[in-house]
Chain A
Amino acid sequence: MSRIVVASKKPVRIALTVALVIHIALISLQGHHRIDTGFIRVWALDSLAPLEKLADRSLFGVRQAWDRYIVLIGVHEENLQLKRENDDLRMQLIQQQEAIAEAERIRALAGFQPLGIGKPLMARVIARDPAHNQTITIDKGRVHGLKPDTAVITPAGVVGRVIQSSNFFSIVQLIIDSQSAVGVMLQSTRRQGIVRGNGGPELDLDYIDDDNDLKPGDMFLTSGGDRIYPKGTPVGVITSVGARRGLLKAVQVRPTADLGRLEEVLCVVERHEKVDVVDPTQGQPVP
């Protein structure tokens, strides 16, 4: 490749200054929330994400062909075992559905509003963050009902929330991101708290009412207090309880969802959670 030598340094200095000023202005605008820069991301997502989806589908096609036609040894035995497991699970599902219907009837009788868990919409993960942050790109966007703060989960647990949506794609901030926090409650004692991402593979417990009875193996579920994630979804399991650091013990939580191997996720759309506010003068819930 031939080298091009620039004779004068002045245009370079001007170009550098202009570029730096543009970037600093962008950063500054986001810091003070003066102007919404979301349109740039939407435009970039709509332009670049289709390429990511195309590449993802190509790789997926190759892998599917391999899985369907080449790796078939021992499939018959596995199939029989899965059918047995499927029958068991169907039975469990019927029992669970009965229990849910009963609970809904009791809730209705007691005058409570429905839980408003929302409708799950399956989305495919097409890319991971190209800038070392803890985000993923999924192939569902605004036309599918996704918007910022839409909860993204898997059957194993909470994945994160949508932070930016274009028409057909969305960026999801994982719960392990350092700017992410989830309202949680301990499954055993129902104590409420907050877990926060730190950029690493585990979460930090940021707050809890009482940390004396915490022990490794305890499960955290979403409390629903953040009004993003449906209540009762698994978040993580305590892996270590360290010495007291300030007001709280240093508690590490491993997410129950395998965030390193996400392929399909569920987005909770059409969620209309109604929160009753009690008027202290009347003592009645105000819608």
Chain B
Amino acid sequence: MNRITTLGLFGKFATALIGVVVIQGILSFKFKVFGYFDLPLICCIYYGFTLSNPMASIVIGSALGLMQDSLSGAILGANGLTKTLIGFFAASAGHKFAVDQTITRVFAIFLFSLGDDILVTILALMVGPGSNPTYSGAMGTWLLSATFNTLFGLVLFGYHDRWRDATT
């Protein structure tokens, strides 16, 4: 059995989280379709489900969200707040539901993605100017984004399952 030090584990997680945020920024710029994906969100749900450790999921969600906010024009804390909650709920769901089932994953990722978009928008409207108009096609964009995230999440979980089956 491999002995992994706490520092090494922390380093791997930190590298993965920074990588996710940076890759999201680069890919959204290079390929327009990646604007619909939210890799940090998928990463947050993935760790929530697979680790089933609410404490770690809260920390991962907070860190990812804050990095996203810092590299964007979003209100600092908006993505941090939503991703903290999503990390916590994903980890809690990992305890209570059969998250190995595809149908559960589809529902969970879709709803988490939609919830994330809605909550971030509400927070932006609360802090932003009162007369802030919203894009009439925003709901369509959220649904499309949730669909893309769900599909990508399923692929990611599929690889996780294969890797787990191969190592056990």
| A residues whose Cβ falls under 8 Å from a Cβ of B | 1, 3-6, 11-12, 15-16, 19-20, 22-27, 30-31, 37, 40-41, 43-45, 48-49, 51-52, 55-56, 59, 125-137, 163-164, 171, 173, 177-179, 196, 198-200, 204, 260
B115 on the interface (CB 8 Å rule)?
no
Complex Cα gap A247–B38 (Å): 39
Residues of chain B in range 17-69 having any CB-CB distance to chain A below 8 Å: 18, 21-26, 28-30, 32, 35, 38-40, 50-56, 58-59, 61-62, 65-69
Which of A31, A45, A200 lies in contact with B137, CB distance below 8 A? Answer: A200
Which of B22, B55, B123 lies in contact with A55, CB distance below 8 A? Answer: B22
Judged by DSSP, the binding face of A is mixed
Complex Cα gap A15–B92 (Å): 14
B102 on the interface (CB 8 Å rule)?
no
Is A136 within 8 A of B29, CB to CB?
Answer: yes
Residues of B near A11 (CB, < 8 A) are 55
| B residues whose Cβ falls under 8 Å from a Cβ of A | 18, 21-26, 28-30, 32, 35, 38-40, 50-56, 58-59, 61-62, 65-81, 84-85, 88, 117, 120, 123-124, 126-129, 132-138, 145, 160, 164
Complex Cα gap A163–B127 (Å): 16
Complex Cα gap A177–B75 (Å): 13
* A14 → chain B closest CB, angstroms: 10
* B153 → chain A closest CB, angstroms: 16
* B93 → chain A closest CB, angstroms: 14
Residues of B near A31 (CB, < 8 A) are 126-127
Q: Given contacts A1-B50, A4-B52, are A132 and B117 in contact (CB under 8 A)?
A: yes
Is B71 within 8 A of A179, CB to CB?
Answer: no
Residues of B near A20 (CB, < 8 A) are 81, 84-85
Is A131 within 8 A of B55, CB to CB?
Answer: no
Residues of B near A200 (CB, < 8 A) are 135-138
Q: Given contacts A23-B84, A127-B26, A127-B29, are A15 and B135 in contact (CB under 8 A)?
A: no
Beyond contacts A19-B58, A48-B21: 20 other A-B pairs, Cβ-Cβ < 8 A, are A12-B55, A15-B58, A19-B84, A23-B77, A23-B80, A24-B77, A27-B81, A27-B127, A37-B76, A43-B70, A44-B67, A48-B22, A59-B26, A130-B28, A133-B74, A135-B73, A177-B73, A178-B135, A200-B135, A200-B138
Complex Cα gap A217–B77 (Å): 41
Is B164 within 8 A of A1, CB to CB?
Answer: yes
Q: Which residue of B lies closest to A130 (CB)?
A: B24
Residues of A near B54 (CB, < 8 A) are 6, 12, 15-16
Residues of B near A40 (CB, < 8 A) are 66, 70, 76
Q: Given contacts A4-B51, A129-B73, A130-B68, are A26 and B58 in contact (CB under 8 A)?
A: no
Residues of B near A5 (CB, < 8 A) are 52-53
Most chain A Cβ neighbours within 10 Å, of B25, B68, B73: B73
Is B26 within 8 A of A30, CB to CB?
Answer: no
* A11 → chain B closest CB, angstroms: 6
Complex Cα gap A27–B68 (Å): 14
Is B129 within 8 A of A179, CB to CB?
Answer: yes
Complex Cα gap A56–B26 (Å): 7
Complex Cα gap A41–B84 (Å): 19
Most chain A Cβ neighbours within 10 Å, of B24, B77, B81, B123: B77
What are some 20 contacts across the A-B interface (CB < 8 A)? A6-B54, A12-B54, A12-B88, A20-B84, A22-B62, A23-B65, A26-B76, A27-B75, A41-B76, A55-B22, A56-B26, A129-B28, A131-B69, A131-B78, A132-B120, A137-B71, A171-B73, A178-B124, A178-B134, A200-B138
Residues of A near B38 (CB, < 8 A) are 132
